[in-house]
Structures are given as C-alpha cells and as structure tokens.
A and B are shown apart, each in its own frame.
Chain A
Amino acid sequence: MKYFATFAAMLLLSISAFAQDGKSIYNKYAGHKKVEAVYISSAMFRIMGKLPELEINDKDVNLAPVVKSLNGMYLIECENRELCAKLKADVEKMVSAGKYELMMEIREEDETVRIYTIGTEEEIRGFVFFVMEDDECTFINFDGCIPRESFEKALSKAR
C-alpha cells in the first residue's frame, strides 16, 4: 500500500511535465481577454484535404500534402504582457518535455522568433512557432505526420 501511495505522489509531481502540449496550452489561454485563439481539428483538415480546389495563393505552392497530413493546428495570439510571459514559460516547458529540437532562432531588436520541430528525417510529428515581441506574442503548433520534404518545400515557397 505504501508503494502505491508513493507511486501516486510521484505521478502527481510529474503530471505538470506531461500536461504541456499544444492542446493544453490552447485550452489554458483561449477565452482570455486580448487573446485570439484558432483551433483546426484533424477532422477539419481531412475535409479541407478533400475540397475540390484549394484556394492557393498566386505563387506556385502546393499545400495539399501538408494539409492532408495534419492532425491539428493550435494558434494563440496574445496582446497581454503578463499572459505573454506565462505563455512563453509554458511553451518552454512544452518543448523541453516533448524533446523538441530548436530548428532556428531569430533575434531582432524587438522580436525573438523560435521554431522547434520533433520527428524523424522523413517526417515531422510536431512543429512549434513562437514569436515574442514587447507586448505581444504568437504561438503556432502544427501536429501530425507531415512529410519533411513537402513541409520544407512549402515553407520555402509560401510567403
């Protein structure tokens, strides 16, 4: 019985590390004042993938392979300085717990951009984009089994 109690206590202590993912961050911050939140589910991505024609911008970009392989998109745009600080901490917990790899970081005068990915050489299972400015921040998380080549090609062309 005491071993079970010890196990339950350890589970409680570790729960904060396991709880951080795109969904939990979205649920935590959506609905707050000065926060814009967008969620697209896997079901919606499947419907989007079956649309007879996707309205693609005038450049030669094929987002169809990316759309069809996504399980979810979470977007949080926050214009509250305090919430931005908390969101930044939660994103850092998420990437460290999920063992994301820092793909790139751009530091400019008033803006820091960090991009994290997790996956293999063939596919990307998670993508996190986080921009921190003075009074606002943006968090975008793509979830799925995205072919890396298609994703990188689309990123380089879609602008």
Chain B
Amino acid sequence: MRRHAVAATVALAMSGGEGLATARGAAVVADPAAGAKIAERGSARGAPACSSCHGDEGEGDPVAGFPRLAGQVAAFLVHQLDAFADGQRPNPVMAPIAAALTPQQRADVSAHFEAFQAVSPPTPPQPAQAAARGYALAAYGDWPRGLPACSQCHGLKGEGVGAAFPMISGQNALYIESQLKAWRSGARRDDPMGLMRAVAAKLSDGDIAAVAGFYAGAAVWAGQPSAAAAEKKP
C-alpha cells in the first residue's frame, strides 16, 4: 500500500473559494505517520480511533453508511473536520471527535487517509431503471430542471477534482444518499457557494437513490491517490 514518503502540505492554497475554509490558521505540514497513530489508537485528547468506524484502511462501512476516506484529497478531509468542529456540517458523532483534534492532528489524519488506495465496496446491482437514471444524472445531469451532471464538477469518472470536489466513485450508497439529503434539507452547509445545496434541492428521493447507487457501483478511480497532492508540494 502506498503511503506518503514525504509530509504533504495540507493547507493547500485553495483557489479562492469563498466557502472553502482551508486557511484557518497558518499552514500546517502534515505528518501522515502521526496521523496513522491517531487513526489506529485515537488521540490523547479523547478522539477515538478513526479506524473503529472508517476501517483500518479508511475503506468505510457501507452497511452503517460511514464514508470511505481512503484516497480522498487531504485538503478536502481537513475541510470536513473543520466543518464538523464548527457546526457547518452538523453531525453528533463527528462534531466532538473533530473538536478533539488540533489543526495539526486534522492535517495528520487527513494525509494518512489520502495515502490509501481507494477501493469500492461490493455493491449489489441496481434495478435497470434506477441504473439508467443514475447514469443519466451522473453523465448528463437534467438541464431542463437546472441540474448539471455530477461529472461536470466531480470528474468524468467521479474521481474528484482538486480539494473542493471529492471523489465519489465507489463511495457507499448509504453515505451518498444521506449527504444529498442533508444538503437538500439545508442541514449541511459547508459546500462552497452553496453549490451542492442548489443541486440537491432539485433532486427527488428517486433521483438520490439512483445516483447514490450508480456511484457506489461505479468502478473506483484507479490512479494513485497521492499523486495529485505530490504535485502540489512546494
């Protein structure tokens, strides 16, 4: 398995997104080895081991709907932890955990999980109609309803683009579904410019189930997850 040979700079210069709070405090140089310890054993300030829910390799738990973290860009993961801690992303489980991690520790665990190869959980095939609907939304959107395609921001294969648009291919369906619903209801507010809230507001329950199922079953992006971060090292 691939890990970072060199610590990645996590406080990536975000390309100006007003809603993406990567610049909370000074740049932190992440230490994935320190992150690995927290992921396996928890932190001194009481954060439990990440692996207890997200799995030893950040693979997530499709049955419980805990997200896969493996291979996700570290700056994106840091942003999620920040958003849990400050309530932009309300979550009774993650809020106290994120709050118990220092900015350095958030960067460390994020770099740790970025370095894992993302894998897809085994996913039962979707009914044909839902599969077609999910594919259509992913590839083409539904422009007469003002819906751009998922792939227009998350990449053709849902592999993720930069620090703001996460990898969604191979993410578990239960998690994708819960997040789309959280954006639709406005409970989740950490998306830059409200982009996901605007999209989710136009999705029906059927749309959400179809697109979540589609991406859960989509072949995961098979590149090297740390390559993107490596290029951005100063």
Q: Are A and B co-members of a single complex?
A: no
